[in-house]
């Protein structure tokens, strides 16, 4: 067997948003089920150094890792499917790699040389790919190249993986779309043919083609794609639309994708273990109860803004044999009285207020939290949702006039939420928030301690503001319980209101650590209460 490193490179074409990330995650899951260690790597063509400075409405949620990296949301999918913890080496962007090369050039690392894209930038990329393979001790690294074939932005990355294939064992998998035309419903292969031709022009021959389509690919269509794209028929894989994303590994497994990939990479076939995954999928597909949960957000125009929150609800519900119907409520619509609170929330079993930044929609969120508190409706607040819950309680229970966050009203008369001490004086916006995993100590006999079944909770964070400690005693005297605090007692991490159906919030983002087979304790508690 060759001692070269093993890579699978996944590219995409015809359309963006085909679900390459889901394919990578599902393939990874299958290889993992065969006992192989897989490390995924996402390459993003944008010039931002990381995803942290992008608006979720444009690019979907910003995912946060344990080490505090703010990364592309695909990494969330990888973590959920593979049940692994990724780190800053799992995401490369144009900005990140150029920054590295330019810094090296300034230091004089290339002294005397003309620093060109090839071989310097491609060389740096290849080093990163190989370093990830070595440090992760993976058997296979799967590299997902963001964007579509034909984009100017991702050309340097495609060149780098072409070069990589001269040095290591690389399998190229291309994801495409097979649309259906006309009343007869004929599956059309031309976009795939033309897109693969573009890939071949830059020197990459796909070894497998994953075809997204509404229905499974017909045999004659597979034959045609095989012939025109120069890929053996058995490596033309069908990716029909599915209701449940966690079913994708199973659909790939029916087509023996793991065996085909392992054989291509000269790795031995092994026995599979997909039992628990299959059981989970069965439960999700056969719920015995349905509930409606409102997500009161400010980026509801794009569902992807709340990807991990939705997934976490599904994980909890799946494990409880239930199905959650998410109802998006745009908080600025409530704020502007375009829609009434009762109208928006009258038919839901629970209310979730997720994270966010900036003033728009805050008053709408606060109104909805008041409704949940007064109507005894299960409520879960995350990060900004936690801060809004503190503001709502301060105003309406503790009677603190004009209580607010200094993020929204800098000279508020009762700044119950204020900028963190450690954040004062920081002006740069990239990667400077309180980021990554932190520990909270949980209060005895609290709801959260019960749910986490532990004295501490480790959750990921991404924020600049916090509960103003000057108000903690007053709020606690009025009945708000801060049930989780940082070790030194200075940062309020969890809150709850006793004698309520479920009123819990956290400064953290527990949605980033939920997994299909290990739902987040907080979401589990929330969904359980909604089901009652
Ligand atoms: N805007 C708030 C802060 O910076 C909340 C952030 C969030 O919800 N992630 O503290």
Token pair listed for 343: 């109208």
Q: Average of pLDDT values for 172-182?
A: 94
Distance 357 CA to ligand 1 centre (A): 5
The binding-site residues of ligand 1, defined as CB within 6 angstroms of any ligand atom, are: 355-357, 383-384, 407, 462-465
Q: In this predicted structure, what is the pLDDT of residue 17?
A: 86
For residue 177, pLDDT beyond 90: yes
Alpha-carbon distances, residue 204 vs 92, 143, 266, 331 (angstroms): 21, 14, 20, 47
3-state DSSP call for residue 161? Answer: helix
Alpha-carbon distances, residue 37 vs 52, 75, 138, 286, 523 (angstroms): 29, 17, 5, 31, 29
Q: Which CATH architecture has domain 288-531?
A: 3-Layer(aba) Sandwich (3.40)
Alpha-carbon distances, residue 99 vs 47, 95, 106, 426 (angstroms): 10, 6, 11, 21
Question: Which atom of ligand 1 lies closest to the CA of 417?
Answer: 10
Q: In this predicted structure, what is the pLDDT of residue 59?
A: 87
3-state DSSP call for residue 528? Answer: helix
Distance 466 CA to ligand 1 centre (A): 9
How many residues in total does the chain contain? 532
What is the per-residue DSSP string for 331-361? HHHHHTTSS-HHHHHTT-SEEEE----SSTT
Of the pLDDT bands very low, low, confident and very high (cuts 50, 70, 90), residue 184 is confident
* Active-site residue flag, 413: no
Instruction: Give the tens place of pLDDT for each residue, 331-386.
Output: 999 999 999 999 999 999 999 999 999 999 999 999 999 999 999 999 999 999 99
d(CA 57, CA 89): 25
d(CA 40, CA 81): 11
Best CA proximity match to 359, nearest among 294, 419, 402, 410: 410
Q: CATH 3.40.50.880 spans which residues of the chain?
A: 288-531
Q: Average of pLDDT values for 275-301?
A: 96
Under 8 Å between Cβ of 155 and 202: yes
- Which residue owns the Cα nearest ligand 1 atom 6? 463
Instruction: Give the tens place of pLDDT for each residue, 119-176.
Output: 999 999 999 999 999 999 999 999 999 999 999 999 999 999 999 999 999 999 999 9
Q: In this predicted structure, what is the pLDDT of residue 1?
A: 60
Of the pLDDT bands very low, low, confident and very high (cuts 50, 70, 90), residue 20 is very high
Average pLDDT, the chain: 96
The domain over range 6-278 is classified in CATH as 3.40.50.720: no
Q: In this predicted structure, what is the pLDDT of residue 475?
A: 98
Q: Average of pLDDT values for 225-250?
A: 96
Distance 436 CA to ligand 1 centre (A): 13
Q: In this predicted structure, what is the pLDDT of residue 181?
A: 85
Pairing of strands 180-181, 186-187: antiparallel
**Cβ neighbours around 484 below 10 Å, total:** 27
Q: In this predicted structure, what is the pLDDT of residue 527?
A: 98
Return the percentage of the chain with pLDDT > 90, whole number: 93
Question: Which atom of ligand 1 lies closest to the CA of 465?
Answer: 10
Distance 168 CA to ligand 1 centre (A): 43
Q: Please, where are the H alpha helices in 83-188?
A: 94-107, 122-136, 155-167
Q: In this predicted structure, what is the pLDDT of residue 278?
A: 96
d(CA 219, CA 223): 6
Question: Which atom of ligand 1 lies closest to the CA of 358?
Answer: 1
Token pair listed for 502: 């479920």
Ligand 1 pocket mutation pick from 55, 465, 467, 506 by most atoms within 8 angstroms of CB: 465
Q: CATH 3.40.50.300 spans which residues of the chain?
A: 6-278
* Active-site residue flag, 383: yes
- Which residue owns the Cα nearest ligand 1 atom 8? 355
Q: Is the dihedral of CA 519, 523, 525, 530 positive or negative?
A: negative
Q: In this predicted structure, what is the pLDDT of residue 121?
A: 97
In terms of pLDDT, which residue wins out, 428 or 25? 25
Computed on alpha carbons and rounded to an integer, the radius of gyration of the chain in Å comes to 25
Of the pLDDT bands very low, low, confident and very high (cuts 50, 70, 90), residue 421 is confident
Ligand 1 pocket mutation pick from 464, 467, 512 by most atoms within 8 angstroms of CB: 464
For residue 438, pLDDT beyond 70: yes
> Which residues are CB-contacts of 337 (< 8 A; sequence separation ≥ 6)?
none
Of the pLDDT bands very low, low, confident and very high (cuts 50, 70, 90), residue 265 is very high
Q: Is the backbone peptide bond immediately before 418 cis, with ω within 30 degrees of 0?
A: no
């Amino acid at each position: 067997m060759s001692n070269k490193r093993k890579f699978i490179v996944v590219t995409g074409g015809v359309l963006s948003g085909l679900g390459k990330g889901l394919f990578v995650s599902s393939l990874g899951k299958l290889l993992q089920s065969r006992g192989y260690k897989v490390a995924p790597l996402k390459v993003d063509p944008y010039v931002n150094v990381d995803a942290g400075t992008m608006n979720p409405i444009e690019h979907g949620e910003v995912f946060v890792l344990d080490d505090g990296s703010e990364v592309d949301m695909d990494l969330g999918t990888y973590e959920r499917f593979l049940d692994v913890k990724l780190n800053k080496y799992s995401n490369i962007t144009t900005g990140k790699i150029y920054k590295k090369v330019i810094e090296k050039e300034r230091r004089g690392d290339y002294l005397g040389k003309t620093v060109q894209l090839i071989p310097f930038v491609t060389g740096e990329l290849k080093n990163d790919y190989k370093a990830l393979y070595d440090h992760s001790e993976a058997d296979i690294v799967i590299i997902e190249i963001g964007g579509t074939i034909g984009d100017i932005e991702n050309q340097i990355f495609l060149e780098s993986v072409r070069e990589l294939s001269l040095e290591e064992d690389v399998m190229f998998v291309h994801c495409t779309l097979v649309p259906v035309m006309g009343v007869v419903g004929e599956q059309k292969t031309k976009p795939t043919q033309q897109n693969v031709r573009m890939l071949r022009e830059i020197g990459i021959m796909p070894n497998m083609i994953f075809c997204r389509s509404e229905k499974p690919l017909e045999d004659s269509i597979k034959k045609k794609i095989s012939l025109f794209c120069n890929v053996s028929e058995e490596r033309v894989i069908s990716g029909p639309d599915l209701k449940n994303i966690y079913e994708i590994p199973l659909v790939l497994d029916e087509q023996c994708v793991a065996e085909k990939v392992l054989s291509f990479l000269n790795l031995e076939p092994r026995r599979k273990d997909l039992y628990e995954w299959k059981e989970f999928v069965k439960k999700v597909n056969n719920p015995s109860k349905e509930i409606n949960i409102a997500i009161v957000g400010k980026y509801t125009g794009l569902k992807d803004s709340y990807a991990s929150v939705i997934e976490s609800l599904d994980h909890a519900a799946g494990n409880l044999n239930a199905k959650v119907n998410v109802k998006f409520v745009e908080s600025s619509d409530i704020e502007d009285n375009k829609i009434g609170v009762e109208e928006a929330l009258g038919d839901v079993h629970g209310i979730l207020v997720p994270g966010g930044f900036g003033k728009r929609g805050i008053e709408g969120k606060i109104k909805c939290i008041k409704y949940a508190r007064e109507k005894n409706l299960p409520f879960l607040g995350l990060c900004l949702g936690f801060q809004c819950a503190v503001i709502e309680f301060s105003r309406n229970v503790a009677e603190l006039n004009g209580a607010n966050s200094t993020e929204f009203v800098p000279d508020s008369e009762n700044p119950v939420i204020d900028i963190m001490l450690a954040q004062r004086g920081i002006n740069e916006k990239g990667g400077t928030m309180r980021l990554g995993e932190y520990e909270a100590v949980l209060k005895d006999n609290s709801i959260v301690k019960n749910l986490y079944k532990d004295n501490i909770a480790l959750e990921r964070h991404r924020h600049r503001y916090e509960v103003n400690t000057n108000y903690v005693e007053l709020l606690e005297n009025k009945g708000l319980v801060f049930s989780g605090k940082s070790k030194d007692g200075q940062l309020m991490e969890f809150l709850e209101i006793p004698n309520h159906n479920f009123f819990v919030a956290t400064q953290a983002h527990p949605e980033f650590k939920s997994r299909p087979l290990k739902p987040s304790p907080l979401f589990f508690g929330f969904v359980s209460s909604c089901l009652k």
